Amino acid sequence: MITVSSAFDAGAIEVVSISPEPALEAGGPAARLRLKLPTDNASDFRQWFYFRLQGARGVRCAMHVTNCAQSAYPEGWPEYRAVASTDRQHWFRVPTRFEHGVLIIDWTPPTDDVYLAYFEPYSSERHLDLLARVAGSERARVTRLGASVDGRDIDLVTVGEPAPHKKRVWVIARQHPGETMAEWFIEGLLERVLGACAVAAAVLEKAVLYIVPNMNPDGSARGNLRTNAAGVNLNREWLHPTLDKSPEVFLVRAKMHEVGVDFFLDVHGDESLPYVFIDGSHMLPGRSAANIEREARFIKAVSAACPDFQTEHGYAFDRFSEELLTLASKYVGHTFNCLSVTLEMPFKDNANQPDAQHGWSGARSRTMGAQMLAAIAADLGVT
Ligand code: ZN
């Protein structure tokens, strides 16, 4: 019997129906599954899915996800391909098409126990493994800032010894929990800065890194796309966070005000655009010429350091005008008068350098995180 389940970390799917017995078709046994995207636990956003498919070895499964037209980003589905794994380590793209508002994943699993997801997951266990590994480094400290809505730890990694002459470099990820590429990025950045690396040593002479690998551990574990356990989009909370509804932002923002910010990078994923790009702060009212120049220099440094990065495609400048200062990078850029940008990586692929087998992936996001250290170094003037 073919079954679908999602009762595990970050799991998310609704089952409408599954053919009771595989039908014998010309190409072999085939089954039809009708599935739906569930909403985030306390909001209307839906896009993330992650499920286990059992008992379908050698059966061609047409998995129809029928409510994609009601998803948060319907434009995220054309040209999109789902990822699958047979060992929960290696993820690859599988044949997927989008027809009349329905996403159809058409795949014949090679084993009786496989997983499918919107993007390569970054599990809660891996998150804790990363923190424990980082805490073992002499260069880093892991501190708990407080608790999320569900009571999970909000952890801050501090790399380097704070000193009055040092710049304060902040990097945060996964305000939107379904954007798992953001934490893969952080893993790569941490590995590079904690490894034997001349650039890392030079950076840590001049700066302290404050890194929040996962701003939204509740949403991550619950399989949410965009919100925390209270149904709040954390990247709209930066003007007025509360301990009640958005403690994740409240705690991190309070720490920023305590230690200061000279550089801020907020790492995200974009459902629609098949490119890596930066959304900057040059459009903020009253932005100084020096800050605008610094941002342009940094973007050039990212172009030089990260081959996947490009500047042709991105958000229109006025996209967030009404709610501008509720966004992390705009709030921080405005409040601390510093370099402050949002990095977006694709869910689909990098159309400039497509990978037929993997599309955009955890590995590519991790590589991007490692490469970003050179761009940070350039901003600090150490390379
Ligand atoms: Zn995001």
C-alpha triplet 274, 278, 284: angle, nearest 5°: 135
Q: Cα separation of 377 and 85, whole Å? A: 36
| pLDDT of 20 | 76
Residue spans of the domains in the chain: they are 3-117, 124-380
Q: Cα(114) to centroid of ligand 1, in Å?
A: 27
Q: Cα separation of 33 and 17, whole Å? A: 6
In 3-state terms, what secondary structure has residue 168? strand
Q: Cα separation of 200 and 206, whole Å? A: 10
Tokens 């934490």 belong to which residue? 183
Q: Cα(379) to centroid of ligand 1, in Å?
A: 24
164 conformational bin, left if phi > 0, alpha if psi -120 to 50, beta if neither: alpha
Domain 124-380 sits in which CATH superfamily?
Zn peptidases (3.40.630.10)
| pLDDT of 183 | 99
| Segments of the chain assigned E as strands | 3-5, 14-18, 23-25, 28-36, 50-54, 60-65, 83-85, 92-93, 96-99, 102-107, 113-117, 140-147, 153-159, 167-173, 207-212, 263-270, 277-279, 339-346
Among candidate residues 179, 183, 248, 344, the one labeled active-site is: 344
Q: Cα separation of 27 and 133, whole Å? A: 48
The residue count of the chain comes to 383
Q: Cα(34) to centroid of ligand 1, in Å?
A: 28
Q: Cα(269) to centroid of ligand 1, in Å?
A: 5
CATH 2.60.40.3120, applies to 3-117: yes
| pLDDT of 225 | 98
Q: Cα(50) to centroid of ligand 1, in Å?
A: 18
Enumerate residue ranges in the chain where pLDDT < 70. Answer: 317-322
Q: Is 258 a catalytic residue?
A: no
| pLDDT of 320 | 53
